[in-house]
């Protein structure tokens, strides 16, 4: 290894020093490489083991690697959903002293999937629409913090299941630009046009490969991101005017934003000239309203829709079961220990890589609703859990380690998530205690 090797990282993982940086990435030994789906891209990307986790390694120029490393750091500080940066490796040379490309190392998102791994045989219209809606929300969040992506596509995005929907994460920030003063309408529309074009091409590519359900209109699906994005952006930014005695509409506007997963950071309200009407426009909005409330109450860090579903169950528990009155923090702790944790701990070890805990809990609640409807009575959670494990969860593939179908169209760094870290807590649970 050359003494000129340079590692840029916020904290250096000692395992980085053991990787074969003096060997071209294409020739790395099989014991180092993890087999995950990848395809044609501007740069060579491979996946490797690093200290019991999986990382993506992209060969590029030192300038581009450092630029993307800094951009991912800035996006993380802005709380934007994206992959986590690990390091930039520069100054590489082979055994003969010839220079090798620099490398950007990023971590894989646990339980995330490239869009092609989200369906087994063919892509159904409802799945495609949910993916596009998730990408529209990601794009609105990026634009809200002043980020111009430049290369929006399904392939440059990772998806996590989120209580029946999907949550989207940015993977490739190479073409991105961050504008502190915000984006112009032209920049936003350019990103949207690129997204529409790329999505149409990706769906048509699936159609050509026989992996699209009959009757699906690729262009109509791609057009969906335009309407979904515009509706989101209007909800976030449109000025609204109403009569001064209709102050309840302020609450209604805030609730609409909360339902989209956003919080109001600041709001401008001003009376018009005749003094009879009020104009309202959100100034600063941050995503993750339900995530933050659930994290504050329980310490659970989950996706937005999952957080909304868990909070609904918590609120129902407070009204129906809890004996602790109106102390929200105490009720949340009781729900966590009496409901959520017992469900998670009841999942057999060999099935824990199927889905992440919050998604399992959401699906258990869904399963209880369906079987209660079928039986015409309320089914206890313990009985539901047994049915869910035996009839649903046991037949799913493991999404923590899933390897999707090989493809030559999956873009740079869109791979599945890292192997999960095992929890050492092996407490047994009496399912009869579930409420």
What pLDDT shows up at residue 177? Answer: 95
Q: Tokens in use for 295?
A: 């994290």
Statement to judge: residues 24 and 87 lie in one domain: yes
What pLDDT shows up at residue 43? Answer: 82
What pLDDT shows up at residue 285? Answer: 56
The tally of domains found in the chain comes to 4
Residues spanned by the domain of 196: 115-237
For residue 203, give the H/E element and its range: helix 185-208
Tell me the DSSP string of 328-384: HHHHHHHHIIIIIHHHHHHS-GGGTTSS-HHHHHHHHHHHHHHHHHHHTSPPPHHHH
Domain membership of residue 313 (yes or no) is no
Statement to judge: residues 209 and 181 lie in one domain: yes
Query: Which domain-ending residue is among 198, 220, 237?
Result: 237
- Are the beta carbons of 27 and 9 closer than 8 angstroms? no
Using CA atoms, how far apart are residues 233 and 101, in angstroms rounded to an integer? 40
Query: Which domain-ending residue is among 65, 80, 107?
Result: 107
What pLDDT shows up at residue 286? Answer: 64
Under the banding of pLDDT at 50, 70 and 90, the label for residue 41 is low
Domain membership of residue 189 (yes or no) is yes
Domain membership of residue 298 (yes or no) is no
Statement to judge: residues 225 and 262 lie in one domain: no
Using CA atoms, how far apart are residues 40 and 408, in angstroms rounded to an integer? 5
- Are the beta carbons of 157 and 414 closer than 8 angstroms? yes
Q: What is the pTM of this model?
A: 0.71
- Are the beta carbons of 191 and 149 closer than 8 angstroms? yes
Statement to judge: residues 12 and 92 lie in one domain: yes
Closest to 156 measured CA to CA, from 415, 405, 417, 411: 411
Q: What is the DSSP letter of 414?
A: -
Query: Which domain-ending residue is among 58, 74, 107?
Result: 107
pLDDT tens digits, residue range 211-239? 777 767 889 989 999 999 999 898 888 87
- Alpha carbon 394 to its chain centroid, in Å, reads 24
Statement to judge: residues 406 and 358 lie in one domain: yes
Domain membership of residue 303 (yes or no) is no
Where is pLDDT greater, at 327 or 183? 183
In Å, how far are 19, 104, 198, 255 from 97, measured between CA atoms? 17, 21, 41, 62
Statement to judge: residues 120 and 156 lie in one domain: yes
Closest to 25 measured CA to CA, from 88, 92, 85: 92
Statement to judge: residues 250 and 224 lie in one domain: no
Statement to judge: residues 96 and 133 lie in one domain: no
Under the banding of pLDDT at 50, 70 and 90, the label for residue 208 is confident
Statement to judge: residues 98 and 171 lie in one domain: no
Statement to judge: residues 69 and 43 lie in one domain: yes
Using CA atoms, how far apart are residues 8 and 405, in angstroms rounded to an integer? 33
Tell me the CB-side half-sphere exposure of residue 31, using CA atoms within 13 A: 3
């Amino acid at each position: 290894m050359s003494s000129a090797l340079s590692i840029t990282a916020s904290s250096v993982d000692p395992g980085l020093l053991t990787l074969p940086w003096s060997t071209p990435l294409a020739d790395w030994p099989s014991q180092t490489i993890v087999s995950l789906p990848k395809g044609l891209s501007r740069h060579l990307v491979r996946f490797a083991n690093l200290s019991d986790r999986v990382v993506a390694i992209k060969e590029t120029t030192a300038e581009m690697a450092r630029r993307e490393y800094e951009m991912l750091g800035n996006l993380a500080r802005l709380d934007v959903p994206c992959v986590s940066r690990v390091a930039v490796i520069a100054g590489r040379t082979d055994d003969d002293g010839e220079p090798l490309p620099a490398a950007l190392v990023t971590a894989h998102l646990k339980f995330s999937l490239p869009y092609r791994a989200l369906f087994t045989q063919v892509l159904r219209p409802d799945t495609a629409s949910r993916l596009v809606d998730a990408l529209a929300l990601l794009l609105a969040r990026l634009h809200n913090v002043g980020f111009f992506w430049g290369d929006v596509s399904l392939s440059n995005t990772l998806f996590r299941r989120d209580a029946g929907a999907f949550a989207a994460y940015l993977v490739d920030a190479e073409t991105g630009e961050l504008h502190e003063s915000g984006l112009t309408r032209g920049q936003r529309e350019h990103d949207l046009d690129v997204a529409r074009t790329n999505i149409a091409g990706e769906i048509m590519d699936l159609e050509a490969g026989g992996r699209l359900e009959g009757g699906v209109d690729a262009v109509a699906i791609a057009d969906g991101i335009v309407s979904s994005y515009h509706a989101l952006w209007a909800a976030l930014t449109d000025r609204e005017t109403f009569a001064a005695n209709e102050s309840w509409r302020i609450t209604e506007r805030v609730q609409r934003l909360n339902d989209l997963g956003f919080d109001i950071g600041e709001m401008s309200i001003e009376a018009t000239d005749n003094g009879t009407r009020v104009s309202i426009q959100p100034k600063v909005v941050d995503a993750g309203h339900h995530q933050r409330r659930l994290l504050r109450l329980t310490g659970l860090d989950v996706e937005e829709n999952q957080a909304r579903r868990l909070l609904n169950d918590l609120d129902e528990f407070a009204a129906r079961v809890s004996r602790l009155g109106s102390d929200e923090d105490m009720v949340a702790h009781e729900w966590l220990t009496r409901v959520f944790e017992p469900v998670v701990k009841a999942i057999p070890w060999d099935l824990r890589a199927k889905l992440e805990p919050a998604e399992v809990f959401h699906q258990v609640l869904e399963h209880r609703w369906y079987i209660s409807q079928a039986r015409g009575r309320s089914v206890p959670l313990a009985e539901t859990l047994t049915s869910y494990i035996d009839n649903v969860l046991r037949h799913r593939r493991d999404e923590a380690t899933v390897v999707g179908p090989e493809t030559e169209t999956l873009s740079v760094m869109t791979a599945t998530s890292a192997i999960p870290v095992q929890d050492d807590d092996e407490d047994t649970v009496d399912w009869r205690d579930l409420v």
